[in-house]
Structure 1
Amino acid sequence: MQLNYFPINIEFDKFHIFTEPYSEERLAELRNSYNTTHSFFRNGDSIFISNKNADENVTIGKIAEQSTYGNVNITASLIKHLFFRTFKDRFPNHTPVDFYPFRFFSGQQKDDIIFNALPNELKNKIAYKKLIEVQLRLTEINGKKQFGFLINIKRNWIFTKSCADLRAENYDLIGVEVLYAETLPGLDNILAPNEEFVGVIISISGTKAKVNTNEGEKEYELKELFIRKTKFNIGNYLSFATSQQKSDEVVNIIDHKREDIYNPKKLYNEITNVARGLFIDNGTPIVFQNKDGFCFTVNPLPLMVSNTIELKPPTFIFDPAATRTINTYPDNGLSNFGPYDSSIFDIKSPNILCICNKTIRGNFTQFLSSLKDGLPQSKYFQKGLLKKYDLHNITFDVKEIQNNTLNEYLNIIHDYDEQKPNLAIIEIPENFKLQTDQNNPYYQIKAKLLSLEIPVQFVTTRIVNNHNEYILNSMALQIYAKLGGTPWVLPTQRSVDRELVIGIGHSWLRKNQYAGAEFNRVVGITTFLSSDGQYLLGDKVKDVAFEYYFEELLKSLKQSIQRLSSEQGWIDGDTVRLIFHIFKPIKNVEFEVISQLIKDIPQYKIKFAFVTIGNTHPTMLFDTNQQGVTSYGSNFPKGEYIPNRASNIFLDSETCIVQMLGANELKTSKHGMSKPVQIKIRTPQGNYHSNELNKMLFYDLSYITQQIFSFTYLSWRSFLPAEEPATMKYSNLISKLLGKMRNLQGWDADKLNYGLKRKKWFL
């Protein structure tokens, strides 16, 4: 396998660099005087100076010795500055978009996929071009510490006409989203202007525009404003400047070429071609160096890697004694053994409220019959919900509505305020998807049912009329989980420590996307799973202003842990391992919460780890030996150059990437590149330090990675493994739903903290 990572060769362990004591005034003075020949950067209380092009007799500051891998921040800053200046020397016609991550547009005409479709007067003024991104990383793969560059390729719009140009063409700018472009001092022709999304134009007077921003109405020169580069905005301009037909043609070219643009094999070849252009000249490695003796070269070939550990799919368990197990597909285990909690599940004869339009009652009741009793000729759903999940009986209470209006749905639901069903199955039309969140009957019906503590399964009219074994099989799984059932669990690692796996999700509530929009409120979600994957409970941290988030998160965790410790019979002195799965940490807030939590429950010995899980990172994994697999009924291979599921690389002692979607897991050849998931054990950032806290941190990356991989088999939305573990999947589903429902009239999310705590209502 290969990473999109190109190792840097540094031949020395120590180097010399000039320094001066830091002050803001002195740093500005040095840059004003020597910026064309030197680089200056701050680290701690010192200014570090790199002489790239000046005479060697020009000395600034005093010389100091540094360790290459001692203070890695200084070495990294030197590498970035030398790379930037060498690039500018070699490619003077390229103006980088950003210093870091270092980004620049390809200058080749072939990399503008709409060039030939545009009229001559718009060529190079509007483009959809290859954007190359280079990031520096320090890795410790297989115990070898080294720096390297990660290379990624994206495609972005270019639109060089200012709003002054558009005004001269009589283009209507009122109501248009705009960017403010500002050339930073001293960076003219060195970096592209910094662009900031400021708001919407509300009026124009002469050469100035009044813009509605998050800081109120502000005036800008039209020549400093550019339309926001979105498909919608550029499409609107193209239809004005040319025709609607031409605008549609240009947009369609991008849509039709998307599969080709993001083809993994092509992407790999493009990345290696870019690396050769950046790091080699006429077959000779480029030497990136300054006049002070610091230098490096870059390997033009991507780093070859192999799996760090062997990740194994889990065994699936279907009874508390762990005697009924299966190693392949959990669906087979359910068909053979029934669900894990069959002997203790208390809703054996669920009453289900069913609502449909009167015009499809026949198909709807046929659909319910198939759901209940199965499809006898099918491969995967012969038993149906009733027998597959060991239920005694299912009672469907079918109600009809005349029209698919919100009031008709709610009128029926109101009749069940007192005598609540165990679940509701609601038929809805496809066009509900086209409505805004706040006016969408889907969310309003869901909110009403959840406020009554009734989980709901929606089904569209199309599915009612065209259901099959695959749809019914997944739906039955979701229904059982929503009723509070546990279809299967995973083996637990033998350990004297108790363990809880806790997913913490949060979503910021922001007014809009304009610059300066305050992230003024935050919603936190916690989901608790046992080490065998059982869903123990979910909790919502109140929708609060950020300054109260710490207090509310602590309260939620403390109450939940106290409840679980009582239920599970924890004993004073027990060692309890808490593994937190977080999408994105909020600085050191969560560490502060745990510090306080530990003080509040001193009767237990706490070990914990904060682990972030996500795919918003620049590392990609390729396998040039993977020639793709062909799906049934297709002649086109999918997944070419994509590694198998479970492929993994430990980038350092705290960071691992895992390929969750391999060639076999992709649905079609149109999927494009599948990025691995990055797993990172987090430590406190900045100057935060606590010896007491550090002793409690759990650092076993192999254990954590295997557990996360196993938890991807617990989605219960589907029998197929997911791309993210259940902890994150559940938290994200809850956060998304609560975000969409929070502005609905009469909705109270705190209702979820009672009767639905232990049910997977969000699936």
Structure 2
Amino acid sequence: MQLNFFPLNFQFTDYQITDVNYSDELLLDLRRRYNTSHSFFRFGENIYLSNSDSDSGIDIATNTTSKNVYGDNQITASLIKHIFFRTFKKRFISYTPVDFYPFRFFSSKEKDDLLFDLLPNQLKGRIGYKKMIEVQLRLATIAGKQQFGFVINIARNWIFEKNCATLNLEGYNLLNVEVLHSEIYPGSCGILAPNEEFIGIISEIINDETAKVLTNEGEQVFPLTELFIRKTKFNIANYLDFALSPDKTSQILNHIESKKQEIYNTKSLHTEICEIAKALFSSKLDGHSIEFMNKDGFYFTVQDKPLEVTNTFDLKTPTFIFDPAGTKTNNNNPDLGLSNFGPYDSISFDIKSPSVLCICHRENRGYFSKFLADLKDGIPSSRYFIKGFQKKYELTEVNFQINELSAFTLAEYIRVMKEWDQEFRPDLAIIEIPNEFRKLKDADNPYYQLKGKLLSYEIPVQYVLTERIKTYNEYILNSICLQLYAKLGGTPWVLPANRSVDREIIIGIGHSWIRKNQFKGADQSKIVGITTFLSSDGQYLLGDKVKDVAFENYFEELLNSLKSSFNRLESEQGWQEGDTVRLIFHIFKPVKNTEFDVISRFVKDITKYRIKFAFVTISKSHPHLLFDPNQPGVNGKGAYIPNRATNVFLDSETCIVQMLGVKDLKTAKQAMSTPIQIKIRTPQGNYNNPELNDMLYYDLAYIVQQIFSFTYLSWRSFLPAELPATMLYSNLISKLLSKMRNVNGWDADRLNYSLKRKKWFL
């Protein structure tokens, strides 16, 4: 197995480096005077110097100090980045990098531009869909060995190098077009590509040289030469319609789509990354390693083959438990266990005869009623769905009340709801919707309007597309029933709990910004937080939505939410003073240091119990990739993709895990499957407090295994998910609430106590 990590090699452990005392003015002056031959960077109270291309020094007094490659790793890392950048610029003169760090540049090869052969000569190279190479420096400790390495990734991005002045002269209509402001930073001309920021939309063309742009600071005037259309598929397609023709644009976009399976597959990516590494780190003439060096005597080489790695530890598929006594279990297949034993909470589940409001189009009633019958009673000839919803989930009766629409309009749906029998109080709704709803804006979409209305009545909703009603199979029905039971508040199965800990709660924390727009300077004054609470065996205990608040109030609101939920759970579960309580916090994207500080305050305020806690980030936004060159793939898909559960510890606090292996890919179009990164974080604000240090929990292997096990609790499907339930639930709630916020009259605070216990968001 290989990691897209190319180790650096040093022939020394200590090195000499020049420094001077830091000041803003001195750093700017040094860069202005010596930028062509020297690099300067700050660390702490010093400015460090690297002489790249000069036989003489600088004309100020300096100090020379000794540093250790790994003991002073932050200084070493900055030095490596600067030497790599300058060496690249010398070797590849025609390239202008896009960013210094992460270091990014576009390939100049014609074959790496998917549009090159499709565009006329006047557009070749000026508009394209090109390969972008990204190189990041990372410090890792893998298999006990600490080492620096470059991590290489590849993406495909649009390029559009015609400014708005040119477009205006061509006669292209720029009104209401999204634009970027391009600006060359002082001293970076020819060294880095201009900086581009999305500032707004053009509101008026003043003349051939200037335009007014509607920004978050109001209307502002910019030279047309400094404005470029925002590089999105929609914007570039509009221009290509104008410059070429709609038919040619469709051909171009279809060509890109057809190439995705070829270029976005793991085997091709591995080949490309290895080719890039050879070009960057080895000589074309003799194949020897390139020496990256400065004139101060610091040098290194880079291995041009990816690092070979093995699993750090054996991740296990959890046992699935289907009764509180823990006697009914299945070690491999939760679906089979559910069919054999029924759901975990069958005895205590209190909605044994659910009433279901069903709405369909009158023209599809025949299909819909058959769909409901098979959903309830099962398909006798099937392999996975013989029992049906009622028997498989050990319900007494499932009562469907079918209502017909004459058209798929909001008015018709509302009419049906108003005609409810006053004595009929549904526990759930199953509603037919057409594919066309997907094309509607959120504010006008009956999907969200109906969901909001029903949720305000405490009724979870299951939508079913018309095409699904007509073409369903046993797999679709099986997944829908799993979702229905979870939405009713049921627990299909649980996982083994850790018996060595008195109490353990896993808490997912998510958030969603309320943005006016995506322009530079957009007002992000409001934020909503979402918290989900699960027990150590995977039972969904509680979900809570923090109020939409100004960012400056987010700390207190999140803290209050955690406290109130914690108080509710300790009362319900009968905790005793002095119990040991382990709190594992899962978070997807931290907001600066806010969550760190909130949790530090939260755990320190809990004095009744002995608290141990860990703060864990779970992310797909990281540069690491795993490859298995010995994996040929299955049925033409998944070559080079490692098996699910493949894992590597990057250091004592960080692990990457392959959550979707070759067998988990549904089609060949799912050409890539990237690992998730699990990282134990240390609280920032009060981390040096000894009291807090004693509470921290650092068992990375335990935490990784738990997160892996929690991926089997999505209850949207019997298949494992990429993310654990804590993160999946928080993300689903956040996404749904952000959509429904656009619905007139919707109030998210209506999600009252009873719905907090149900998985209404699945």
- The change in CA–CA distance for 1:418 and 1:63 in structure 2 (over 3 A counts) is farther
Q: Distance in 1 between matches of 2:88 and 2:515?
A: 39
1:582–1:613 CA contact under 8 A, matched in 2? yes
1:180–1:225 CA contact under 8 A, matched in 2? yes
Q: Distance in 2 between matches of 1:735 and 1:506?
A: 7
Structure 1 residues 695-704 or 235-244, which shifts more?
Answer: 235-244
2:267–2:639 CA contact under 8 A, matched in 1? yes
The structural deviation recorded for 1:108 is 1.4
SS at match of 1:122: coil
AA of the residue aligned to 1:700: D
- The change in CA–CA distance for 1:743 and 1:122 in structure 2 (over 3 A counts) is closer
Q: Distance in 1 between matches of 2:489 and 2:234?
A: 44
- The change in CA–CA distance for 1:34 and 1:57 in structure 2 (over 3 A counts) is closer
2:4–2:152 CA contact under 8 A, matched in 1? yes
The reply to whether residue 641 of structure 1 matches residue 637 of structure 2 is: no
SS at match of 2:547: strand
The aligned counterpart of 2:23 is 23
Question: Per-residue CA shift, 1:293-314, capped at 9, x if unaligned?
Answer: 1111100010000000100100
Question: Per-residue CA shift, 1:597-651, capped at 9, x if unaligned?
Answer: 2343211111111111121111000000000001xxxxxx110000000000000
1:56–1:291 CA contact under 8 A, matched in 2? no
AA of the residue aligned to 1:516: G
The aligned counterpart of 1:124 is 125
The aligned counterpart of 2:683 is 684
1:413–1:449 CA contact under 8 A, matched in 2? no
The structural deviation recorded for 1:409 is 1.6
The structural deviation recorded for 1:695 is 1.9
Matches within 5 A, 1:389-428: 389-414=393-418, 415=420, 419-428=424-433
The aligned counterpart of 1:97 is 98
Q: Distance in 2 between matches of 1:81 and 1:54?
A: 15
The structural deviation recorded for 1:67 is 1.7
The structural deviation recorded for 1:354 is 1.2
Q: Distance in 2 between matches of 1:678 and 1:288?
A: 30
2:96–2:190 CA contact under 8 A, matched in 1? yes
The aligned counterpart of 1:490 is 495
SS at match of 1:425: strand
SS at match of 1:25: helix
The structural deviation recorded for 1:171 is 1.6
The aligned counterpart of 2:348 is 344
The structural deviation recorded for 1:684 is 3.0
Q: Distance in 1 between matches of 2:220 and 2:477?
A: 56
The structural deviation recorded for 1:408 is 2.3
2:318–2:496 CA contact under 8 A, matched in 1? yes
The aligned counterpart of 2:337 is 333
The structural deviation recorded for 1:21 is 0.6
AA of the residue aligned to 1:173: L
Matches within 5 A, 1:153-168: 153-168=154-169
Match of 1:227 among 226, 229, 233: 229
The aligned counterpart of 1:634 is none
The reply to whether residue 85 of structure 1 matches residue 90 of structure 2 is: no
Q: Distance in 2 between matches of 1:132 and 1:211?
A: 32
2:355–2:427 CA contact under 8 A, matched in 1? yes
Structure 1 residues 666-675 or 716-725, which shifts more?
Answer: 666-675
The aligned counterpart of 2:192 is 191
Match of 2:506 among 494, 501, 505: 501
- The change in CA–CA distance for 1:694 and 1:753 in structure 2 (over 3 A counts) is farther
Question: Per-residue CA shift, 1:321-355, capped at 9, x if unaligned?
Answer: 11110111111001111111111111111111112
The structural deviation recorded for 1:685 is 4.1
The structural deviation recorded for 1:657 is 0.4
Question: Per-residue CA shift, 1:12-63, capped at 9, x if unaligned?
Answer: 2211111111000011111111110000001111100110111155575111
Matches within 5 A, 1:172-321: 172-206=173-207, 207-281=209-283, 282=285, 283-321=287-325
Question: Per-residue CA shift, 1:719-740, capped at 9, x if unaligned?
Answer: 0011111111111111111111
1:353–1:396 CA contact under 8 A, matched in 2? yes
The aligned counterpart of 2:519 is 514
The structural deviation recorded for 1:165 is 1.3
SS at match of 1:724: coil
The structural deviation recorded for 1:552 is 1.1
Q: Distance in 2 between matches of 1:106 and 1:132?
A: 7
What TM-score do the two structures reach when normalised by structure 1?
A: 0.97
Q: Distance in 1 between matches of 2:681 and 2:90?
A: 39
The aligned counterpart of 2:44 is 44
Question: Per-residue CA shift, 1:434-463, capped at 9, x if unaligned?
Answer: 111111001111111100001111112212
SS at match of 1:42: strand
SS at match of 2:525: strand
The aligned counterpart of 1:633 is none
The aligned counterpart of 2:384 is 380
Structure 1 residues 306-315 or 546-555, which shifts more?
Answer: 546-555
SS at match of 1:669: coil
Question: Per-residue CA shift, 1:466-513, capped at 9, x if unaligned?
Answer: 221111111111111111111000011221331000111101111111
AA of the residue aligned to 1:547: E
- The change in CA–CA distance for 1:687 and 1:211 in structure 2 (over 3 A counts) is farther
The reply to whether residue 593 of structure 1 matches residue 624 of structure 2 is: no
The aligned counterpart of 1:537 is 542
AA of the residue aligned to 2:713: L
SS at match of 2:751: helix
Structure 1 residues 598-607 or 671-680, which shifts more?
Answer: 598-607
1:427–1:461 CA contact under 8 A, matched in 2? yes
AA of the residue aligned to 2:585: F
Q: Distance in 1 between matches of 2:466 and 2:553?
A: 44
Q: Distance in 2 between matches of 1:602 and 1:419?
A: 48
AA of the residue aligned to 2:81: K
Q: Distance in 1 between matches of 2:312 and 2:217?
A: 51
SS at match of 1:313: coil
Q: Distance in 1 between matches of 2:685 and 2:54?
A: 35
The aligned counterpart of 2:673 is 674
- The change in CA–CA distance for 1:17 and 1:417 in structure 2 (over 3 A counts) is farther
- The change in CA–CA distance for 1:178 and 1:57 in structure 2 (over 3 A counts) is closer
The structural deviation recorded for 1:71 is 2.3
AA of the residue aligned to 2:86: R
Q: Distance in 1 between matches of 2:252 and 2:434?
A: 33
SS at match of 1:641: coil
2:378–2:385 CA contact under 8 A, matched in 1? yes
Structure 2 unaligned spans of 5+: none
Q: Distance in 2 between matches of 1:743 and 1:624?
A: 47
Question: Per-residue CA shift, 1:168-192, capped at 9, x if unaligned?
Answer: 2122111111111111101110101
For this pair of structures, how many residues does the alignment match?
Answer: 757
The aligned counterpart of 1:620 is 625
AA of the residue aligned to 2:634: V
Q: Distance in 1 between matches of 2:380 and 2:336?
A: 16
The aligned counterpart of 1:107 is 108
The aligned counterpart of 2:150 is 149
SS at match of 1:542: coil
1:539–1:753 CA contact under 8 A, matched in 2? no
1:100–1:135 CA contact under 8 A, matched in 2? yes
Q: Distance in 1 between matches of 2:58 and 2:222?
A: 43
The structural deviation recorded for 1:744 is 2.0
Structure 1 unaligned spans of 5+: 631-636
Matches within 5 A, 1:689-728: 689-728=688-727
Q: Distance in 1 between matches of 2:405 and 2:240?
A: 46
Match of 1:524 among 529, 537, 543: 529
The aligned counterpart of 2:464 is 459
- The change in CA–CA distance for 1:756 and 1:385 in structure 2 (over 3 A counts) is same
Q: Distance in 2 between matches of 1:417 and 1:620?
A: 57
2:596–2:684 CA contact under 8 A, matched in 1? no
What TM-score do the two structures reach when normalised by structure 2?
A: 0.97
